[in-house]
Amino acid sequence: MKLHILILLAITSFFANAQDATPISQDIAINQHINGTLLKPNTPASTLAIIIGGSGPTDKDGNQNFQKTNNIKKLATHLANQNIATFRYDKRIVKQIRNKTVANNIMFDDFVADASAVMTYFKTKNNYKHIYIIGHDQGSLIGMLAAKDAADGFISIAGTALSIDQLITEQVEKTAPQFTADTKRIFKLLKAGKTTTDYPVALSSIFNIETQRFIMNWMQYNPTEILSTLEIPILITNGTKDLQVSEAEAKLLHDAAPTSELKIIPNMNHVLVTISGGDLENSKSYNESQRALSPELLNCITTFINH
């Protein structure tokens, strides 16, 4: 009888402790453009990580219409379980799509302003001794700009080292070289502050007239130049199975900031999961939310923040 009671108490204690360890989730509206979630450990945390998603209408969990990985949510949960609070938020285009108020005048600088507003909000609250910025993909460049003179550390995940015009030109040269001359011609016009409707139909997804001013604004920023000005601890990560950003670009970022830490993660792809097979498995993983994030990525981020 006593043995049964002891077993019952042990089981009850286990589940009570498991419930106590559950992170605390709090939805916060930073301003009219930004809604996000603060995920706090159950015990007081002195460090906050602000996580910024990649290009496109990326929500606070890291998802888009045809891409569901929950990678940002998984990263936030992992960090909360390591006693690091996180704030992740929907990009402003997500809120506009949900409210059916999409504006065609969004600029890249708006995304930087949003990240800076999040930083200012939490610095004003003064609830955390240290604030780090983590930027994935396009969020890496946004994060660099928001981190300058504000954050205590910066982490780039799969961030490109090239300006957007250089990156697109390089991709066109590799995948559709017959359009290279047109691509360079159009970027030359955009650099001069001019828009154009003279582009091949095959390039319309890149250069449609609605996005040209956004690209015009975005292309003025060179990631290596910006990163070189940061005087805070920096971690640069990239995976060897990344189909969108090569590990060579991570090395270029590291060269621009020689005191940074560089971590090339074997078999990790662009959505931060481990790929054991080829490109087909890699592509399918963009919509497989059951996959776990790369343990090596999680460990190196945790170690960097807690160092």
Residue intervals in the chain for CATH 3.40.50.1820: 23-162+222-306
The structure tokens listed for 221 are: 């920023």
Whole-structure pTM value: 0.91
- pLDDT tier at 9 (50, 70, 90 boundaries)? very low
* pLDDT for the residue 96: 86
**Mean pLDDT on 87-113:** 89
* pLDDT for the residue 18: 41
The structure tokens listed for 271 are: 């959505």
Q: Is 55 exposed, middle or buried (0-12, 13-18, 19+ CB in 10 A)?
A: middle
Return the exposure string of 159-179: e unless at least 16 CB atoms fall within 10 Å of the residue's CB, then b.
bbbbbbbebbbbebeeeeeeb
Please give the torsion angle defined by the CA atoms of residues 197, 202, 205 and 209, in that order, rounded to the nearest 10 degrees: 0
Q: What is the pLDDT of residues 30-74, one digit of tens each?
A: 999 999 999 999 999 999 999 999 999 999 999 998 899 999 999
**Which CATH topology does 23-162+222-306 take?**
Rossmann fold (3.40.50)
Q: What is the pLDDT of residues 251-285, one digit of tens each?
A: 999 999 999 999 999 999 999 999 999 999 999 99
Q: What angle do CA 115, 121, 124 make, to 5 degrees?
A: 135
Length in residues, the chain:
307
Q: What is the pLDDT of residues 69-93, one digit of tens each?
A: 999 999 999 999 999 999 999 999 9
Do residues 304 and 233 make contact, with C-beta atoms less than 8 angstroms apart?
Answer: yes
- pLDDT tier at 146 (50, 70, 90 boundaries)? very high
Do residues 86 and 131 make contact, with C-beta atoms less than 8 angstroms apart?
Answer: no
Do residues 35 and 28 make contact, with C-beta atoms less than 8 angstroms apart?
Answer: yes
Do residues 289 and 69 make contact, with C-beta atoms less than 8 angstroms apart?
Answer: yes
- pLDDT tier at 10 (50, 70, 90 boundaries)? very low
Any idea what DSSP says for residue 294?
Answer: P
Do residues 241 and 282 make contact, with C-beta atoms less than 8 angstroms apart?
Answer: yes
Any idea what DSSP says for residue 244?
Answer: S
Sheet holding 35-40, edge to edge: 24-29, 35-40, 85-89, 47-52, 130-136, 153-157, 234-239, 261-265
